[in-house]
Structure 1
Amino acid sequence: MAVNAVLKQQMADLGLTQEELAARMNAALLDITGRPGDVSDRTVRNLISGATRRPIGRTRKALEAVFRCSLKDLGFACPSTTAPPEGPVERRQFITAGTAIALTSAAPAFSVPRRVGASDIERLHRRFADVVANDHRHGGQLAIEHKAAALADEALSLQASGHASQRVRKQVYASAAAFRSSAMWAAIDGRRFEDATRHMRVAQQLAEMAGDPYIKFRIWSHAGTMYRHMGRPADAAAANDVARKLNITRQDPMFASLGLARQGAIHGAAGDGTAARRAFDQSQDAMLRAYPQAQRPVWMNAFYDQAELDSLALSAFLALGDFERAEAHGHRCLAALRPHMHRSKAIATTRVARAQLEQGDVETAIASAMSVPADASIRHPRVVGMLHTFGRRLETIAPGAALAHTWNQYARDTWRQTA
């Protein structure tokens, strides 16, 4: 097998990894056929290695659409055929009569490209805002993850659909990275860590191509949260440090505040109370220094505020066993949460219930747990897991009590809806 050096060079010219080329080919197939593609990085490896010498069908269409040239120009042998050569007139008649769909599908790869401009970027920004809003309402859902990943591929398909200035091209890459980071977050929230890791790797590559420090911050900060939830505090701290060392944390104290608050949560998970308290004090100071009207990305404005800082502190002190301090931060969080933060409210309420239970206030704890909206308590993976833990701790703290029976009956009635 001879390595396809031409294809390797074409990929290098566009700065594409094998995984990124697979994503672009799938986006092209979705655009051409209306159905998602199933190209994998293994498919691309076979194309590069020479294991696949004559790509046909959907693979051929996708390659020609992405690179805007023929298979021959990509170093492949053209698919063999026993048909005699056709003249231009006969070929046009054949296509018109028998393969109109194929002509329509292939046309975008060879037609005069359009100009990708500001209106396309604005459309991507609007769709990203919708993804962020859905995440705050529902959180962790597989549908959100898949939608965000599909929108990332759609953004990348713009790169193959027309000409763009370097500035616009970087904005397209930044939008694709933002969508992928949302897919990553939905997977983290849904406890699908393998999928989250896959989204993270693609998002990091796209962010580098975009050169956008804001989306780099989001991705690395999410990575720190992911590793914290996976029980890997050392990796979590290392990833979060990448975000904290970006220049934007020096330019805007609000980003510094978020980085420090997430670092505090990581210290809490690692059992370092002194470091956690110091991080949250520094985070609070940075937030007070931040200019409220500064221009920030939509994802930052949509979620980070005093309520989120207190939510992270609630998580940290709950992990440290400082239940009184955790409950105090929890009440501050719930009092300050904006109305659209449904997912955050359910998580904070569940954690407050746990903090109350650990302090022996069983009746209040059960009332808090039962106030979690039923939708979240049966559909949000993180909330479901925390409520199951709450039930187990209740059995340990107040075994056989009437209040424990009340909770168990409520839980059975609620979770029966998932059956």
Structure 2
Amino acid sequence: MRSLKRSGIFLVLIALTLLGLGGRASAQSASGKVLVLPFAVNAPGDKDALRKSVGQLLSERLRQQGAAVVDASGKGKKDVNSPAEARQAAKAAGAAMAVYGTLNQVGDSISLDARAVAVGETGDPQTVFVTRQGVIALPSAVEELAQKLKVDVAPAAGGGEKVVELDVEGNNALEKDVVLLKVKTQVGEPYDSRTVNDDLKRLYELGYFDDVQIRSENVRGGKRVVFVVKEKPRIQAVSVVGNSEIKKDDIIEVMATKTGSVLNMQVLSDDLEKVRELYRKKGYFQTTVDYKLEQTDPRMARLNIVVKEAKKLYIKKIVINGAKQISASDLKDEMALKEKNFLSWILQTGVLKEELLERDSASIENYYTNRGYIDAKVGQPQVDIQDDGIVLTFQVEEGERYKIGNIGYKG
């Protein structure tokens, strides 16, 4: 009985909410329509009423944002279970996109799991997930759902409104103009929801933001588009821990991430690889390099480069397979890379320098060519890094040896 009373009160509130929204809905263009399909309902109470309420609320919210909506949420009770079904339904309704999903209730917690698909696309649907406490908060949940969906599913009303203003909110370290240089949406151009959505992806891919959202507003003369960003922290200091074989200053010197810069995960990933390469060049092939961030406040963080140094590895063996007509020892004499011996610590030999591998392959080929094996070939060198050293393998195809016959003179 208590559940029925709560459901009744809730449905009255839904009706009042829809009455409030209805007066603000604007006329829509028939092009670029969005089909709102029935949501599956996993909740106690009147499932049909809840299904209809979700569809009506979502349809009205999307209309407020400028979408031309076809509300099919109250037609039939069959749930849509796949993107293919949703696209087929949208195509039949003459819509460009379709929205479908599920309303779940577990105890007092409700969740809306929505999916949006475009008719002409075959990829995965856009997904949006919203949670609230209490079924009474469903209108608020649908409001957030519509806000998150609007970039993809809400074409501009009238099919051709211009962008009259661009703005950025939430930026602190990066200037507004720097952010706007990265987007293709421009003032004076027609508003295009797909371009705006691509701009969101471009800003994410810069690597400077933890979150990017887009808000479009109907203003006098057209659309105001706002990119709302949450920046990654600024680097307060960079430190290195665990290093002994390479100096801290030498490590920081090869990095692009510096004190005062905004954390960029792609740049940091490249920096870690540069540090690993620094160790490899000195023979520390099994050294690992990682990082830790210490957040000092919401806008600042300390970056720690964490090094776990392994022992230095030397070339313990060079194998030349396929060498039959010329001895492997003669070929090794032509190579810049050498096996470790008792003089390696003095002469600094026996360390693998990867840039010399191709050079040594060419040296072996030249040695064969100069002795008549003009078809000789050397394959890509193989590097086997083991716990006690490195094994290099060169594969040789000698071919036939050519000799000069009789030399005659005429004239």
Please classify the TM superposition score into its range, dividing by the shorter chain length: under 0.3
Structure with greater Cα Rg: 2
Q: Structure with the greater relative contact order (CA < 8 A, sep ≥ 6): 1 or 2? A: 1
TM-score (norm 2): 0.24
**Structure in which a larger fraction of residues adopt helix:** 1
TM-score (norm 1): 0.24
**Structure in which a larger fraction of residues adopt strand:** 2
